[in-house]
Structure 1
Amino acid sequence: MKTNFLISAFCVAWCSITPVCAQQSSADKAQAALFQELQQKDSLLFDFIFNSCAINKLQTVLSKDFVMLYDNGLKDSTTPQSYDSYIANIMKGCDKKRKNEGTSMRREVVKGSLQVFNVTQDIAVQTGVQRFFTVSKEGTATLVEESKFLRNWQQKKGEWKMITETDFKIDHNPQGVSDRYVPDAYVPASEALYNTVVELDSLYFDTYNNCKMDKMAALTADDIEFYHDGGGLTTSKKDLIASIQKNICGKVTRILSPNSIEVYEIPGYGAVEVGYHSFRNSSEPGESHPSKFITLWRFKDKQWQMARVVSLH
């Protein structure tokens, strides 16, 4: 024990008189100071956004050329948001808050996840894990999102400002948060009916993807009802096909999500098809996030036709 004590005392004494230890100590202090400063800026940012709505103070944290980047997984392209758009969204939220509308939000950084790295003297990277909560009027907080973030900070004239943030590994249903019902794995009641409807789906969207308008018309019922959660209701077969020819033909490709189709018989009528699909626009990168669709196929006069469609995005 005495020997160990003497060695430790010697090391402390040696460090106190060498320039190497002095430099290390100085660097550690600078790193700790930077960590605290960026941590405080992080806290201020979300106080301005969710609590004080001090929009005019955001410029003390964000650079004027700030860009927010949202990761959409391996399948889809990253979505950028400009400074002006980011601020506009915050202002909308604050307006709703002043009118006592909308949902109150709270954000926290997972304890121990925050890290800061110096890239150069004037560039730093900050990473961490964050959680977002909705807060009821009674004060009950519900976790609704968990994600990782990576920020680039730049120092100009002695002031650190954020120039980019990337949110990734975004989980909108963190484990243990939701008690939402999860159904058992789908098993077709009739293999033959399932195969028939899957083939009908393939035939119809071959006409959609390849501009086969005559075949599309043959597969579409004269009394078609097409419900779209963005575009509303269309009940004219002629208008529906004309719209597809004008806006979709040669421009948009539909992609069926693998193994997503479920088929249920409707005795005396036909069958209902439920599934997920995405779309690729030839003028845009990537493809849309998979969305749900419901199709009623009617079997009449020995012919299958699409009679009702519900398209949800």
Structure 2
Amino acid sequence: MRKIQLLILLGFFSQMVYAQVKPTDELYKTAKKLDSLIFDIGFNKCDLSHYDSIVSDDLEFYHDKGGITSGKEAFTASIKNNICGNPNKVRRELVPNSMKVYPLYNNKVLYAFIQEGEHDFAELDKGKWNKGSRAKFTILWILDGKDWKMKRVLSYDHHL
């Protein structure tokens, strides 16, 4: 009986090794940088020049209000036309302390990670930022060679 208890305990602790990473971890810092490239630089400042290197060609983006966007080209066009080309500009901000990062391993080799969190959106109206909605998101980042690529995105639970 003690051996079974020990095996269960060891199994539990081995799972904890691969649980959420701390904000001081390099993978967390990588996720924070990628988040900034997608949203702070791309979404907020409309500089989409780096999307080609960090968005997977076969991206799938699932949005609870806007439906499905398939592929890098469609995603980039959507940001360009709906966010950057819209006279009512939208800004996205990551909710402080909401981001979590979970590494994914195959035979103890890191191949992907899941980033989840919450973000707030504000709309520019007559020169003033008005509070918009808050939503949850989950992003699957895949290691493609030496580059991280945004592969699957869920954006959901949008509410005022």
TM band (smaller chain): 0.7 to 0.9
Tell me, yes or no, if structure 1 residue 134 matches structure 2 residue 123: yes
The amino acid across from 2:124 in the alignment is: V
Correspondence for 1:124 among 109, 113, 122: 113
Q: What's the CA shift string for 1:141-174, capped at 9, x where partnerless?
A: 2111111000101012121111011011121xx2
Correspondence for 1:32 among 25, 28, 32: 25
Structure 1 pair 135–167 and aligned structure 2 pair: CA distance change class (3 A): same
The amino acid across from 2:112 in the alignment is: I
| Structure whose CA Rg is larger | 1
The amino acid across from 2:26 in the alignment is: A
Structure 1 pair 85–123 and aligned structure 2 pair: CA distance change class (3 A): same
Q: CA deviation at 1:127?
A: 0.2
Partner residue, 1:148: 136
Greater fraction strand: 2
Higher RCO, 1 vs 2 (CA within 8 Å, ≥6 residues apart): 2
- Tell me the distance in 2 between the aligned counterparts of 1:49 and 1:61: 14
- Tell me the distance in 2 between the aligned counterparts of 1:33 and 1:58: 22
Contact 2:37–2:50 (8 Å) recurs in 1: no
Q: CA deviation at 1:95?
A: 6.2
Correspondence for 1:91 among 65, 80, 84: 80
Structure 2: gaps (5+ residues): 1-16
Report the TM-score when normalising by structure 1: 0.39
Q: CA deviation at 1:56?
A: 2.9
- Tell me the distance in 1 between the aligned counterparts of 2:145 and 2:137: 26
Q: CA deviation at 1:71?
A: 3.0
The amino acid across from 2:90 in the alignment is: M
Q: CA deviation at 1:137?
A: 4.8
Q: How many residues get paired?
A: 134
Report the TM-score when normalising by structure 2: 0.74
| 3-state SS of paired residue (1:122) | strand
Structure 1 pair 137–115 and aligned structure 2 pair: CA distance change class (3 A): same
Tell me, yes or no, if structure 1 residue 107 matches structure 2 residue 92: yes
Tell me, yes or no, if structure 1 residue 57 matches structure 2 residue 50: yes
Alignment of 1:144-293 (within 5 A): 144-171=132-159, 174=160
Structure 1 pair 105–79 and aligned structure 2 pair: CA distance change class (3 A): closer
Contact 2:43–2:92 (8 Å) recurs in 1: no
| 3-state SS of paired residue (2:96) | coil
| 3-state SS of paired residue (1:129) | strand
| 3-state SS of paired residue (2:98) | coil
Contact 2:103–2:112 (8 Å) recurs in 1: yes
Q: What's the CA shift string for 1:79-127, capped at 9, x where partnerless?
A: 321123222122224663xxxx611221111111000001211111000
Report sequence identity in percent: 22
The amino acid across from 2:122 in the alignment is: F
Partner residue, 1:70: 63
RMSD (Å), alpha carbons: 2.3
- Tell me the distance in 2 between the aligned counterparts of 1:86 and 1:157: 22
